[in-house]
């Protein structure tokens, strides 16, 4: 059981696992109606504070500070101004923290602290909740908090009125990972009675536990294969394709298992699939749609299904508000949000080009492929090509540094995105001629 021990020795997995009993306790107390609404908010907020201090140590202040400042902005600004100011402040704060990571890695050439990396990950998730909440307020979907600070109420009344916002930004089931939960869904869960009963919860969580078990078994098997072979620095010609594919497979298995664990923690606390139905909002989605991700032959579908809640958040925040080049603006912002490492900038911009090519290639192919044998061959070929392009992008994003990125670009692996780039140019030229 060494591999299982290694999984739970991963810092985030360990702290997420430690939070499980408290998530189940919160859900149980809600079922028994033993909690007032204010006590529920306080329980989630106190749990978030305790988890942040335990996982991040002194770096927890980097998460607490923007949360407090965001609530102050929400409570003092008009609804039309909230989003602009909170977005600018939160992204500026997050960028400064990422620059600290750049300084440590690229200037001092030192490995960053594990606690600091956890803090940055939590800060990125906080940015999602901050911007989601500010957009909801601007669009009239959430109750405005403006006027709380200007009112003549006592300090304790101010804090009580701002408590739902503090609790939403720092609630412990979503502090270190998990799908984005909107403020309306959060309120509906806290203020309503739980529909998650112990027997149903046990079987669902047991099934997810088995999924994590299976993914970790595969993870160990693939890691042994990767460890026994050569890396990108030593591979030659077509061997580099195999190295890229196996290494990307290892990254994907790690993401899948962590996403299921994060989703299970949210589910254990009652923040599950019933939220979207009960609040009338967009249905809650899990980040790990493994079946779709592994069988799709379209890069655009993979982009929408990979980390689904983040993809929806990016679409709402950037894509729908962009007047020119929305696709490229969305992927460029994603690179900024992830930290602007060289590999991330290259990887996300490459992904944008591949998605644009994907739209044109498949719309062109669907126009003349009629017989099912040719269509089956076409789907098989494009599935393999999609998986290899995704592996290429994933390695670029994960290796991050310029030296590793240079090795990847100089390998035979660059053939796969280059094919799509050439097809994109030809189809764009053809489209202009037809017009």
Nearest to 12 by CA among 64, 44, 40, 51: 51
- Whole-angstrom distance, CA of residue 353 vs CA of residue 421: 7
DSSP strand E in 74-133: where? none
Say if CB 48 and CB 290 are below 8 A apart. Answer: no
Six token digits for residue 331: 């992927």
Q: What's the full length of the chain, in residues?
A: 435
DSSP strand E in 49-148: where? none
Task: Give the angle subtended at the CA of 121 by the CAs of 4 and 398, to the nearest 5°.
Answer: 75
Query: How far out from the chain centre does Cα 155 lie?
Result: 36
- Integer CA distances (angstroms), 255 to 127, 162, 332, in order: 20, 34, 22
- Whole-angstrom distance, CA of residue 248 vs CA of residue 413: 12
Query: How far out from the chain centre does Cα 36 lie?
Result: 32
Q: Is 435 a catalytic residue?
A: no
Neighbouring residues of 61: CB distance < 8 A, sequence distance ≥ 6: none
Say if CB 161 and CB 144 are below 8 A apart. Answer: no
- Whole-angstrom distance, CA of residue 96 vs CA of residue 100: 6
Of the residues 27, 83, 98, 307, only one is catalytic, namely 307
Name residue 391's beta-bridge partners.
Answer: none
Nearest to 392 by CA among 422, 414, 368, 367: 414
Of the residues 83, 297, 338, 362, only one is catalytic, namely 338
Q: Is 338 a catalytic residue?
A: yes
- Integer CA distances (angstroms), 372 to 38, 366, 368, 369, in order: 60, 12, 12, 8
- Whole-angstrom distance, CA of residue 366 vs CA of residue 375: 9
- Residues labelled as active-site residues: 307, 338
């Amino acid at each position: 059981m060494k591999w299982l021990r290694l999984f739970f020795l991963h810092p985030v997995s360990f702290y997420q696992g430690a939070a499980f009993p408290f998530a189940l306790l919160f859900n149980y107390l809600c079922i028994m109606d033993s909690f007032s609404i204010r006590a529920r908010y306080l329980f989630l907020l106190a749990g978030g504070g305790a988890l942040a201090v335990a996982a991040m140590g002194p770096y927890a202040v980097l998460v607490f500070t923007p949360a407090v400042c965001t609530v102050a902005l929400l409570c003092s600004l008009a609804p039309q101004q909230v989003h602009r100011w909170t977005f600018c402040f939160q992204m500026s704060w997050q960028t400064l923290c990422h620059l600290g990571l750049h300084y440590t890695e690229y200037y001092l050439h030192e490995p960053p602290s594990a606690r600091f990396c956890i803090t940055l990950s939590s800060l990125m998730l906080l940015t999602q909740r901050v911007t989601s909440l500010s957009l909801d307020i601007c669009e009239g979907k959430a109750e405005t908090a403006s006027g709380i600070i200007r009112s003549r109420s006592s300090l304790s009344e101010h804090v009580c009125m701002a408590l739902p916002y503090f609790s939403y930004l720092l609630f412990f089931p979503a502090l270190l990972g998990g799908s984005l939960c909107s403020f309306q869904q959060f309120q509906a869960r806290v203020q309503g009675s739980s529909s998650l009963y112990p027997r149903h919860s046990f079987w669902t969580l047991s099934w997810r536990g088995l999924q994590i078990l299976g993914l970790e078994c595969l993870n160990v098997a693939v890691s042994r294969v990767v460890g026994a072979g050569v890396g990108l620095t030593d591979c030659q010609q077509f061997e580099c394709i195999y190295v890229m594919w196996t290494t990307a497979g290892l990254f994907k298995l790690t993401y899948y298992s962590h996403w299921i664990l994060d989703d299970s923690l949210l589910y254990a606390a009652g923040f599950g699939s019933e939220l979207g139905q009960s609040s009338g909002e967009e249905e809650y989605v899990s980040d790990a749609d493994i079946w779709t991700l592994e069988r799709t032959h379209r890069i655009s579908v993979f982009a929408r299904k990979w980390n689904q809640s983040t993809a929806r958040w990016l679409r709402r925040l950037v894509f729908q508000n962009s007047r020119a080049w929305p696709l490229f603006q969305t992927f460029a912002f994603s690179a900024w949000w992830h930290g602007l490492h060289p590999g991330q900038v290259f990887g996300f911009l490459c992904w944008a080009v591949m998605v644009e090519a994907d739209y044109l290639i498949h719309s062109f192919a669907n126009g003349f492929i009629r017989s099912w044998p040719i269509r089956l061959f076409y789907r098989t070929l494009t599935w393999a090509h999609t998986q290899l392009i995704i592996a290429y992008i994933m390695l670029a994003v994960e290796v991050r540094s310029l030296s590793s990125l240079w090795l990847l670009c100089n390998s035979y692996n660059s053939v796969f995105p280059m094919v799509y780039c050439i097809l994109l140019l030809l189809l764009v030229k053809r489209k202009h001629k037809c017009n």
